[in-house]
Amino acid sequence: MHAQHRTTLTGQHTTTVLAREDLTPSAYILHLDRQGLDFIPGHCVVLGCVGKREQREYSIFSPTTAPDLAVLIKEVEQGRVSHQLRQCKPGEPVLIEGPVGFFTLDDVDIQRDRVLFVASGTGIAPFHCMVGSRPGMDYRILHGVRTSAEAYGRATFDPARHVLCTSREEGGTFSGRVTDYLRGHPVAPETRCFLCGNVRMIDEVYDILANQGVPADNIRAEVFF
């Protein structure tokens, strides 16, 4: 059973780092005290370190049923906040605002339609939350990464529904980019499509889906960078 949840943290608050899980030399999951925060799968939180000026948006990675609040972060070369957050130790405070965003999964999407998720890199985060929060959904997920070490959250996905597209090694389900996979595996026009990650992937996938007859109303996107 759930604790009582607030719909939003109004303004900026602090929460506590519970743990950090390193997935690769640059990617990590930060587990935070949820503080009863209620959110919809696909929502983000805005995080920053106490005493630092910048904050950044991070999609919520953990499902709505999880006791803590987890985000999946890739430490960006020359980046500021992704590096600062990695230095935060369990027990230390971080600034948090939210939940924010409109890239959410409506119940109508999953009751009525087949859903396609297409992610690059950490763009898998909102889909990990959506799939983990809505068991029984009819989905297919394409995750584009360089190597299979970046298959973040793979265990959550049904292997029959999850296509790992690796561009720099043979270790995935498909060798190549998500765009290559989609060109060879056309999508039915009525599919509800959600795209998340870098803008180049999103633009290319959008054009492929449009050429395959998927109407613009059925395509939603969240650009990370």
Ligand X SMILES: Cc1cc2nc3c(=O)[nH]c(=O)nc-3n(C[C@H](O)[C@H](O)[C@H](O)COP(=O)(O)OP(=O)(O)OC[C@H]3O[C@@H](n4cnc5c(N)ncnc54)[C@H](O)[C@@H]3O)c2cc1C
Residues of the shown chain interacting with ligand X in the complex, contacts defined by CB under 6 A? 44, 54, 56-59, 71-74, 76, 78-83, 101, 121-122, 125, 222, 224-225
**Residues for the chain: how many in total?**
225
Beta-bridge partner residues of 194: 117, 220
Under 8 Å CB-to-CB from 145, ≥6 apart: which residues?
Answer: 120, 121, 151, 164, 165, 166, 167, 172
Taking the complex as a whole, how short is the minimal distance between the CB of residue 185 and ligand X, in angstroms? 26
For residue 65, which amino acid is it?
Answer: T
Give least dist CB 150 to ligand X, A: 11
Q: Which of 71, 193 has the CB closer to ligand X?
A: 71
CB nearer to ligand X: pick between 117 and 187:
117
Selection from 148, 142, 101 nearest residue 124 by Cα: 142
Q: Which of 100/188 has CB closer to ligand X?
A: 100
The smaller minimum CB distance to ligand X, of residues 29 and 187, is found at 29
Distance of alpha carbon 33 from alpha carbon 68, whole angstroms: 5
Q: Smallest gap, in angstroms, from Cβ of residue 176 to ligand X?
A: 20
Q: Nearest distance from residue 118's CB to ligand X, in Å?
A: 15
Residue of minimal Cβ distance to ligand X: 79
- Minimum CB separation of residue 81 from ligand X in Å reads 4
- Across the beta sheet with 139-145, the strand order is 174-175, 162-166, 139-145, 115-120, 192-197, 219-223
- Rank residues 79 and 176 by Cβ distance to ligand X and give the closer one: 79
